Structures are given as structure tokens and as C-alpha cells.
Structure 1
């Protein structure tokens, strides 16, 4: 029976890893997607959609599908999934590795305010500006719903569900975007402050370049810590090395 690798996906790196693993002979590769986006990117290999039912459900799936290695390549802010993956791997003895792109680092011209949570970001905003470009994802918008005096421009792939801040303008768009496009957007909407999560990577970093060009303050929500004892590798090559393939 072919060794079976389960990738908890949804990121660019997860798609790259699936492509790299399926190109190797003798491997069965399954990517699991949460199903929160209606049009996910193309993934090579087998794909399953939907949750597992917590750590216990994932552990059961690992056993039933005879998974030989688990790779958590979810978004850096998918804290619950990462916790469940670590618990399931420990319960089943399945070797696991976390793939996390490195976080962003501010340059000398950046005006960043790091905060530990979305609620902390919301607390900071009234002192920084009145027109906010909010790029923290549609699921985090309730943290800002009480800020009735601020105007929010929200960009999302899917329409956000309420509650939303009462003065919210939604832009439905899918990146990546260039630095010139982001600069033009910030200027056109007279943005005072950018709010983002430290997602890392280059796919969404152009907005940071645009904010730097316009000398705008940026509120950066820091990543949640990994579960105790869990370490991450920064790229696909690191995962392949940990799995002993490639």
C-alpha cells in the first residue's frame, strides 16, 4: 500500500506541497479543505472538503485512512485547526509537521503597531484615523462592529456576514494585487489606517508596500503561538526534508 500523506490545506504553500508530493512516485496525497471559500484554487491529488469533527474526528480519520504523515499547512491564524492537528497526531502516533511561511518584518520606514488580537486592533483604531482599510478576513469583522464612528473599507473574496460596522464598504476581490494597485486603492478611498494580520509571504504583502509609500500607520495582528512542543518549517523544501522524500 502506498504511503498516505494528509495535508491540511487552504494556503498557497499547501497547493505547492500537494503538487510536489503528487509528482513523486508511490505516494497517496490527500488535501483537506475547510470549505469556507466557494472557489478554492486548483489542488493536485485527492481532495476532501469539510471539517473532521475536532481532534477526535481527525484522529479517527487518520486511523481509518491509514495516514502515514500529517502536514498542517493551514493559515497561520487557523489556531483551532492547528491545535486539533497536534492533538490528533499525538493520539495516533502519526508523524506530523507544520508548514508556516515566515511572518512579515517591518522596515525602517514602516509605521507598524503590533497587537495581539483583533479586539486589541479595534481598541487602537480611534486614535489612529477615521477611514480604515480592513484586511483581516470576513470572519473577524464582528470585532469591529461597535466602532460606529469609523468608516471601514473591507476587502473579501466572499461577502461577509453580519455583524459588521455600520459604516462599511465591501470590495469583493481576489488577489494577488500589485503595490501600484494597492497604492491607488488606498489613495482613492482616502484611507488613514491599514489593519492586517501577519499572514506572511508575498501574496498579500503589496498593501504593506503601499502603506509605506503613503506613510500610513499599519495595525498588525500578531500570529497565535503554536501548540506547546510544536515547531514549524518555513517552506515546502523543509516539509519534504522532514518527510524524507523529494
Structure 2
């Protein structure tokens, strides 16, 4: 698999459709208002060591955990041979991408986006489809087609702050935030470039290059607020 070091383009032809029907937020599988998720629930692209004890007792324990952990509050990923956990608490609901983590330090984001002492930076990630987010998906498909690629999957991300159960989106023009997504195992292929398409409210569509050298992940930078993000793959140049 070949990584593309730098590629960023604006797909201006799709702007009108996005202005008329921008990214869908809370009506897709968003968690809004009072948000609670168990701190010990984790989504990720790899299995951590199992310390559950004997087989029978461990099975019962896992069943209890699965009942509680309906919405993972964090995510883990194997990146460059090491396990990394997202720096932000949140609602990690994507089933397409088993590992989706924030790489930028929590305190850095809190300072950059003016998060008060009684609040915390918070992220929501959930899958989207043509059925629940048609305008964004149409633009994503067009962007992928423009580079001869195909869409692996797409999510909405809402990055903001959580204070006493109330979620508020960050400003869209704030500090850069590094994200790392795992590539689904069945989509990892030699000779392909992997990138992200972002669709932001207001009509901006960009192709974000993969910034890392790990063959199983895509790292990219975005900003706070709401956006749709899709992983695409296309034959390397």
C-alpha cells in the first residue's frame, strides 16, 4: 500500500448542494443534551489483553460489560506498533471504523477553544449513510470519483465541549485537531492511497491527505465543530 504525502483540493462544483442541504448533525445518530457513557467502555481496532480470570467467570463478566457499554466513551487504536487511546472522552459510535481517536492533547484543545474549568472537550462520532445524510454523501461520492476512488465508509464528527450534560460545538475556524482512523482490515491493500474527504457546513469539500506512515491507519487534521468525514481509497499514482 502506498501513502500519498500531500494532496488537498477544493471541489467547488459541489458547494451549491451543500449550502442548500449541509451536513446533518443531531438527527443522524447523534447524542445531544445529557450525555452519559461508562468511562471503562472502549472501541478500537485491536483487542487488549484479557484479564477476566477463568473462562466461565470471564464470560459472565464480559456479558455484563457488553450490557453496560452500549456507547463507548473512548477509543483505542494500534498505531505505529503501539496502543494509543483517544485524548478526549466522547461517544464513539462508529461501527465502520473500529478505531477512531483524537491525537491532539486534551489540555491543548481546552486552551485553544476556551473551555472552562467546569467543562471538558468532547467528541461524538457516528456512522452516516446516503439514507440519513444524502447531501453530504452525494458530495463525498463525487469527490471520490474525481480522483478515481471509492468510499470505504463515512461518519459525522461533532467536536465541542461538555458541561453539566450540555454539549456545545467548538468554532469551526479554530485550532487544528489531529485525528487517527483505522482502515478496515478487509480494505487494506497494496498499491492504494487512502485519504479522507471532509464536508463542512457552508459548502466546503476537501480531500485531506494521510499524514502518517502506518499502513493500517489514516491520520488527518481538521478543526472543531460539525463535519462529515469519509475514508476513500484509490490506486496510487
Which TM-score applies when normalising by structure 2? 0.24
| Higher percent of residues as helix | 1
Which TM-score applies when normalising by structure 1? 0.23
Higher Cα Rg, which structure: 1
